[in-house]
Amino acid sequence: MSDVDLLFMDDDEADGDLSAIDVVRRGIARTPTVKRTIAFSALISVTVAIGRLAIPVLVQQVIDRGLLGDEGYRSGLVAGLAAAALVVVVVVAVLTPIAEVAMIRGAQQSLYELRRQAFAHIHRLSLAEHSREKRGVLLARVTSDVETVSRFVEWGAVTWAMNVSVIVGAFVVMAVYSWQLTLVAIGTMATVVPAVRFIHGRQLRAYRRARTAVGDLLAVFNEAISGSDAIRSYGYQRAARSRIGSAIRARYRADMRTSKYTAVLFTVGDFIGAVTMVAVALVAVEWGPGWGLGAGEVISFFFLVTLVQSPIGEITEVLEQTQTAVAGWDKVLTLLDQEPEIQSPEEGPGLPVGPLSIEFDNVDAGYDDVQVLHGVSLAIPAGTRVAVVGETGSGKTTFARLLCRLMDPTAGTVRLGGVDVRELTTPGRRDAIRLVPQDGFLFDTRVLRNITYGRPGATEGDARRALDELGLGAWAAGLSDGHDTRVGPRGEHLSVGERQLVALARVQVADPGVLVLDEATSSVDPETEQALSEALRRVAAGRTVVSIAHRLSTAEQADLVLVFDDGRLVEQGRHGDLVASEGVYARLYRSWQRTVAER
């Protein structure tokens, strides 16, 4: 299918029907600030509209009473009406920027409120839900889609309120002057309503598809930028450019589909305004005198028709922004309406301070329709050092995620300290268990600040004490700027081992009863391995420690080894006993020894 065919394809194939009113209603319910802002600006807009409508009325009074009345020219009346018109113009000039400033302030407050809700909701989604959503799509929800709502509230909403008020008010005044000419004007303008409605519906669906294309494009860009090292290393540039090009072309086609409707609507206002003026002029000349219309009333009527043309044209122009905002708003609201798979109670049982026991009772788990763990049952006493081993894809990481409740089992129960993790509040669970991932993710700020993220309310003094308790005070002081060294995005200014040291200090500040390590010593540079091993020994003291072991040297030092194979817990026991049993663990251990010997 060619780009031209795609450009003019039937937009009825787009995603379902989308009611703009429903989206706005849902959006206002989510962000009450928008409702208050629009209400205030609507009040100002009505006042401004009344002021604009007063000018044609004053012109009619000047002509019919001040110039052509029975008493002839009345200078006092003309001067008074002119003064009144001046006052109206000044009031309109003052109130218009007030309305605009109010809308801008409200838009920024609404943007903050909506974006905060979206960010918080994304963090409530489970890892399984994140894996189903591209990160770039989630990024689009909290950036560009929210921005479309902000721009609409800043300018589009006040344009709608003011122009609708002018149009309605103008027709009311026109009807007072001549209901016959008003019917002519309305009838002429109404001839294009079916076409406008038809185009409007298709345009709205096209804009929704355009917002989807924006999210897809951000997802591709995010992947290409974050994976730039792999792309260069494996010579994947051509394929990456091809994917980016496809996403850009899809965005281009989506934007062009919306533009074809905008191009049609853009001329509708001017065209129908011109036709209406011609129709009103012909009827007024032919039958106006017989209906008792004076010169001032006819001239004022023409002013009112002209006054209506401009708002209609502006509404036609702002319709594009409105469609974009509604589509973007709908995307954000759809995200917010997505119920997180993991729900935590507001209140729940407390856990004792110190190391906690761990129990898995016939647990199954998986992602989407793919089952990963099958019937896992185990009991780990408090204070035990545990190593979890198995080949890639055996279920080790899923086991750790269940333990930290980053996902829930599809069957069975996980308990900490004898309590079902689903009964724990979110703060209670976070205080009880912490995970240190392989990459040791850090935020782009100072070392001490990164460590304080271990516990809400932690101070930099707490961070310094944690470093000293782990024997890392001298290491931190030796960094380029000491404790104030900035770590860079994702901690890239530090080595892998140094990032893990900061992550362990963060855990020390958190002081959990259970510590889960996704092999914190794997891929560590020799310079920091000794410091990291000592820090691990200290941070493990007085805690239940579960290590996802990629190197079996970790299992050698553990009190208990859990062996996973194809999603099942096939063996458990001490290292020496498992090696002697000649089972799965013994095979893995011998393979690991050969690999180490060959290096």
Q: Got the DSSP string for 508-551?
A: HHH--SEEEES-TTTT--HHHHHHHHHHHHHHHTTSEEEEE-SS
Separation in Å, CA 512 to CA 60, 147, 399, 408? 81, 40, 18, 20
CB 545 within 8 A of CB 512: no
Beta bridge partners of 415: 359, 420
Return d(Cα 150, Cα 547) in angstroms, integer: 46
Q: Is the dihedral of CA 112, 116, 119, 125 positive or negative?
A: negative
What burial class does residue 491 get, using C-beta atoms within 10 Å of its C-beta: 0-12 exposed, 13-18 middle, 19+ buried? buried
* pLDDT (0 to 100) of residue 350: 81
CB 523 within 8 A of CB 547: no
User: Could you state, in chain order, the average pLDDT of each consecutive group of 10 residues for the chain (599 residues)?
Assistant: 38 49 77 73 76 80 73 78 83 77 73 80 69 62 75 72 82 85 83 72 75 77 73 73 85 81 68 79 80 78 80 70 77 80 81 90 86 92 92 88 88 92 88 82 87 88 92 88 86 84 90 84 64 84 88 85 93 91 88 74
CB 106 within 8 A of CB 153: yes
* pLDDT (0 to 100) of residue 360: 95
CB 96 within 8 A of CB 103: no
Long-range pairs for 189-195: beta carbons < 8 A, 24 or more residues apart: 189/272, 189/276, 189/312, 191/272, 192/268, 192/271, 192/272, 195/268
Return d(Cα 107, Cα 382) in angstroms, integer: 52
Q: For 319, which DSSP code?
A: H
* pLDDT (0 to 100) of residue 317: 65
Q: For 64, which DSSP code?
A: I
* pLDDT (0 to 100) of residue 13: 40
Return d(Cα 227, Cα 106) in angstroms, integer: 39
For the chain, how many residues are written? 599
Q: Could you tell me which of 430, 453, 445 has the C-alpha nearest to residue 484?
A: 445
